[in-house]
């Protein structure tokens, strides 16, 4: 600060304050869009016709994401510089990307909100295991302890879970395993291509739309739009905006702050979703549930900090 005039000091402080406000806004946007999207999707899948349109919904969300990212890369925003990656090399990655989203939506459809959200936490230990097996990444005793805490916490909390069947649990397991493979793979591809997450996502999203569009006629059922309630159609429209805003806010947080900040925001979202989900299900929070949540979130937070070192 030496040599700066009072006006320059005030200007620097103002910029720092402005950055904090924008950072807080990015975090708030991420939390709100995540929670909003989850419950919009849960609402949408209550409709018997839309419940059989999982692939079409994923296509719609990918399309909205593509449009928002394209706009974000252009003037006057210029949030990142778009790049074009090899199409054929993107297809396997996009397959896992789309598969994880669809399985996640199916998990939300056939499970309670609480079980769905807690199952997602199991992605963390699954990622660590895959990194150890396929990338030879070393694992310390402290890391093992953190991951064990996650697994034990999820197990304790899900003991009393309702609204879950064997089929639902199987889908949830497939969802976090496929998502873990995708997360490990995407980290490697970002290094191989020397690109940022939004640059990679802008290549992934439109290719994923093309891949899924071929599957829609075989797996989805064409709905009678006139018989779908208007409030459900509004929720469907809003879910596209929420999905695009979620993806945009995710890379803004990591780009402006850190992956650790994103992890903290993720834990806040988990608590909000679990609380609302259990209230809507009429489930009472027990000592076992409280202990399980603390172990799961605490283990995930410790692992995230260790992985940043």
For residue 7, being part of any structural domain is answered with no
Q: Give the lowest-confidence range in 14-18, 135-139, 178-182, 259-263.
A: 259-263
Average pLDDT score over residue span 69-93:
90
Name the more confident of 253 and 131: 131
Average pLDDT score over residue span 195-201:
85
Model confidence pLDDT, tens digit, residues 95-121: 998 999 899 999 988 888 878 887 887
For residue 1, being part of any structural domain is answered with no
Question: Over 90: is that where the pLDDT of 229 sits?
Answer: yes
- Residue 155 pLDDT level (bands cut at 50, 70, 90): confident
Number of domains in the chain: 1
- Top-confidence range, 8-17, 104-113, 152-161: 104-113
* Residue-range definition of the domain harbouring residue 225: 19-307
For residue 12, being part of any structural domain is answered with no
Question: Over 80: is that where the pLDDT of 187 sits?
Answer: no
For residue 229, being part of any structural domain is answered with yes
Query: Model pTM?
Result: 0.77
| DSSP for the chain, written as a single string | -TT--HHHHHHHHHHHHHHHHHHHHHHHHHHHHHHHHHHHHHHHTTSTTGGG-HHHHHHHHHHHHHHHHHHHTSTTT--S------HHHHHHHHHHHHHHHHHHHHHHHHS-HHHHHHHHHTHHHHHHHHHHHHS-----HHHHHHHHHHHHHHHHHGGG--S--HHHHHHHHHHHHHHHHHHHHHHHHHHHHT--HHHHHHHHHHHHHHHHHTTHHHHPPPP-GGGS-HHHHHHHHHHHHHHHHHHHHHHHHHHHS-HHHHHHHHHHHHHHHHHHHHHHHTPPPPHHHHHHHHHHHHHHHHHHHHHT-
For residue 187, being part of any structural domain is answered with yes
pLDDT at 183: 81
Of all residues in the chain, the percent with pLDDT exceeding 90 is: 27
Question: Over 90: is that where the pLDDT of 196 sits?
Answer: no
pLDDT at 267: 67
- Residue 237 pLDDT level (bands cut at 50, 70, 90): very high
Question: Over 60: is that where the pLDDT of 161 sits?
Answer: no
- Residue 205 pLDDT level (bands cut at 50, 70, 90): very high
pLDDT at 8: 61
For residue 210, being part of any structural domain is answered with yes
pLDDT at 203: 93
- Top-confidence range, 105-114, 159-168, 298-307: 105-114
For residue 9, being part of any structural domain is answered with no
Of all residues in the chain, the percent with pLDDT exceeding 70 is: 82
Contact indicator for 93, 212 with CB cutoff of 8 Å: no
For residue 204, being part of any structural domain is answered with yes
What does the mean pLDDT of the chain come to?
Answer: 82
- Top-confidence range, 28-42, 123-137, 288-302: 28-42
Q: Give the lowest-confidence range in 29-38, 225-234, 262-271.
A: 262-271
Average pLDDT score over residue span 194-212:
90
């Amino acid at each position: 600060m030496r040599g700066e005039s009072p006006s320059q000091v005030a200007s620097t402080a103002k910029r720092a304050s402005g950055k904090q406000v924008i950072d807080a806004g990015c975090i708030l946007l991420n939390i709100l869009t995540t929670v909003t999207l989850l419950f919009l999707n849960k609402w949408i899948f209550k409709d018997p016709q839309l419940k059989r349109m999982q692939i079409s919904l994923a296509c719609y969300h990918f399309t909205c994401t593509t449009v928002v990212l394209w706009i974000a890369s252009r003037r006057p925003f210029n949030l990142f510089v778009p790049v074009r990656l090899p199409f054929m090399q993107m297809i396997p990655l996009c397959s896992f990307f789309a598969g994880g989203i669809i399985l996640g939506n199916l998990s939300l459809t056939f499970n309670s909100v609480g079980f769905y959200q807690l199952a997602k936490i199991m992605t963390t230990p699954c990622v660590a295991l895959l990194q150890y097996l396929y990338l030879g990444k070393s694992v310390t005793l402290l890391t093992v302890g953190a991951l064990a805490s996650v697994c034990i916490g999820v197990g304790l909390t899900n003991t009393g879970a309702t609204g879950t069947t064997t089929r639902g649990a199987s889908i949830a397991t497939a969802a976090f395993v496929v998502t873990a493979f995708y997360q490990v793979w995407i980290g490697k591809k970002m290094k191989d291509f020397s690109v940022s997450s939004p640059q990679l996502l802008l290549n992934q999203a439109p290719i994923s739309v093309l891949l899924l569009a071929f599957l829609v006629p075989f797996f989805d059922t064409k709905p009678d739009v006139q018989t779908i309630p208007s409030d459900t159609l509004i929720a469907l429209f809003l879910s596209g905006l929420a999905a695009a805003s979620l993806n945009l806010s995710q890379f803004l947080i990591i780009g402006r702050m850190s992956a650790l900040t994103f992890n903290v925001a993720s834990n806040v979202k988990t608590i909000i979703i679990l609380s609302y989900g259990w209230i809507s299900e009429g489930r009472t929070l027990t000592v076992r549930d409280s202990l399980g949540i603390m172990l799961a979130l605490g283990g995930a937070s410790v692992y995230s900090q260790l992985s940043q070192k």
